[in-house]
Amino acid sequence: MIGWATRHVQSALFAAGRLARTPLATAFTVLVIAIALTLPTALGLAIISVRQATGDFASAVDVSVYFKQDVSLDKARQLASSLRQRSGVASVKLVSADEALQAFRDRSGFGAALDELGENPLPHALDVRPAPDATDPDRMESLRRYIAAWPEVELVQLDNDWVRRLNAILDLLRGVVTGAAVLLGAGVLAIIGNTVRLEIFNRRAEIEVAKLVGGSNAFVRRPFLYTGLFYGLVGGVLATLLVLLGLALLNGPVTRLAGSYGSSFRLLTPGWREAAGLVAAGALLGLLGAGLAAARHLARIEPRT
Amino acid sequence: MIRFDRASKRYPNGREALSAASFEIGAGEMVFLTGRSGAGKSTILKLISLLERPSRGLVMVNGHNTAALAARRIPAFRRELGVVFQDHRLLPDHSIFDNVALPLHAAETGLTLKEIDKRVRAALDQVGLLDRARSLPLELSVGEQQRVGIARAVVVKPKLIIADEPTGNLDPALSLEVMSVFRRFNEVGVTVVIATHDLDIVHTWKLREIQVTDGKVSESGAAALELPAIEAQR
Q: Chain A residue closest to B80 (CA)?
A: A214
Q: How far apart are CA B52 and CA A3, in angstroms?
A: 31
**Are the beta carbons of B78 and A217 separated by less than 8 Å?**
no
Domains and CATH numbers, chain A: 2-57+164-297 (no CATH), 62-159 (3.30.70.3040)
Q: What is the CATH number of domain B1-68+160-199?
A: 3.40.50.300
Nearest to A7 among B42, B79, B108 (CB): B108
User: From the CA of B63, how many Å to the nearest CA of chain A?
Assistant: 17
Domain boundaries, chain B: 1-68+160-199, 91-157
**Are the beta carbons of B42 and A305 separated by less than 8 Å?**
yes
Residue A49 CB-density burial (10 A; 0-12 exposed, 13-18 middle, 19+ buried):
middle
Q: How far apart are CA B194 and CA B178, in angstroms?
A: 12
**Are the beta carbons of B109 and A3 separated by less than 8 Å?**
yes
Nearest to A214 among B51, B103, B110 (CB): B103
Provide the b/e sequence for A183-213 (b: ≥16 CB within 10 Å).
ebbebbbebbbebbbebbeebeebbbbbbbb
Query: Is residue A143 within 8 Å of residue A157, measured between CB atoms?
Result: no
**Are the beta carbons of A209 and B108 separated by less than 8 Å?**
no
Query: Is residue A186 within 8 Å of residue A281, measured between CB atoms?
Result: no
Amino acid in the structure at residue B111: L
Nearest to B110 among A6, A212, A216 (CB): A6
Q: Chain B residue closest to A216 (CA)?
A: B75
pLDDT < 70: residue spans in chain B: 220-234
Pairs of residues, one from chain A and one from chain B, whose beta carbons lie less than 8 Å apart: 65
Nearest to B75 among A208, A209, A215 (CB): A215
User: From the CA of B141, how many Å to the nearest CA of chain A?
Assistant: 21
SS (H, E, C) chain A: CHHHHHHHHHHHHHHHHHHHHCHHHHHHHHHHHHHHHHHHHHHHHHHHHHHHHHHHHHHCCCEEEEECCCCCHHHHHHHHHHHHHCCCEEEEEEECHHHHHHHHHHHHCCHHHHHHHCCCCCCCEEEEEECHHHCCHHHHHHHHHHHHCCCCEEEEEECCHHHHHHHHHHHHHHHHHHHHHHHHHHHHHHHHHHHHHHHHHHCHHHHHHHHHCCCCHHHHHHHHHHHHHHHHHHHHHHHHHHHHHHHHHHHHHHHHHHHHCCCCCCCCCCCHHHHHHHHHHHHHHHHHHHHHHHHHHCCCCCCCC
Q: How far apart are CA A174 and CA A254, in angstroms?
A: 20
Q: How far apart are CA B13 and CA A271, in angstroms?
A: 64
**Are the beta carbons of A206 and B45 separated by less than 8 Å?**
no
Mean pLDDT per 10-residue interval, chain A, length 305 residues: 75 84 90 92 86 63 84 87 85 86 77 75 86 74 86 82 76 89 92 92 88 87 93 95 91 85 78 90 94 87 66
User: From the CA of B42, how many Å to the nearest CA of chain A?
Assistant: 8
Is A10 part of the contact surface with chain B (CB cutoff 8 Å)? yes
**Are the beta carbons of B106 and A210 separated by less than 8 Å?**
yes
Query: Is residue B222 within 8 Å of residue B209, measured between CB atoms?
Result: yes
**Are the beta carbons of A210 and B102 separated by less than 8 Å?**
yes
Count of Cβ atoms closer than 10 Å to residue B143 Cβ: 16
Q: How far apart are CA B9 and CA A38, in angstroms?
A: 57
Q: Chain A residue closest to B42 (CA)?
A: A305
Nearest to B110 among A3, A214, A219 (CB): A3
Q: Chain A residue closest to B50 (CA)?
A: A212
- Reference B43, options B69, B82, B4; nearest CA is B4
This model of the complex carries an ipTM of 0.82
Is A211 part of the contact surface with chain B (CB cutoff 8 Å)? yes
Q: What is the dihedral of CA A105, A110, A116, A118, to 10 degrees?
A: -20
Residue B122's alpha-carbon distances to A214, B152, B180, in angstroms, are 20, 11, 17
User: From the CA of B174, how many Å to the nearest CA of chain A?
Assistant: 23
CB < 8 Å to B112, chain A: 6
**Are the beta carbons of A6 and B112 separated by less than 8 Å?**
yes
Count of Cβ atoms closer than 10 Å to residue A251 Cβ: 14
Say what angle helices A161-202 and A204-212 make with each other, to 10 degrees.
60
Q: How far apart are CA A64 and CA B79, in angstroms?
A: 85
SS (H, E, C) chain B: CEEEEEEEEECCCCCEEEEEEEEEECCCCEEEEECCCCCCHHHHHHHHCCCCCCCEEEEEECCEECCCCCHHHHHHHHCCEEEECCCCCCCCCCCHHHHHHHHHHHHCCCCCHHHHHHHHHHHHHHCCCHHHCCCCHHHCCHHHHHHHHHHHHHCCCCCEEEEECCCCCCCHHHHHHHHHHHHHHHHCCCEEEEECCCHHHHHHHCCEEEEEECCEEEECHHHHCHHHHHHHHC
Is A203 part of the contact surface with chain B (CB cutoff 8 Å)? no
pTM (two decimals) = 0.72
Residue A137's alpha-carbon distances to A52, A56, A162, A270, in angstroms, are 21, 18, 13, 34
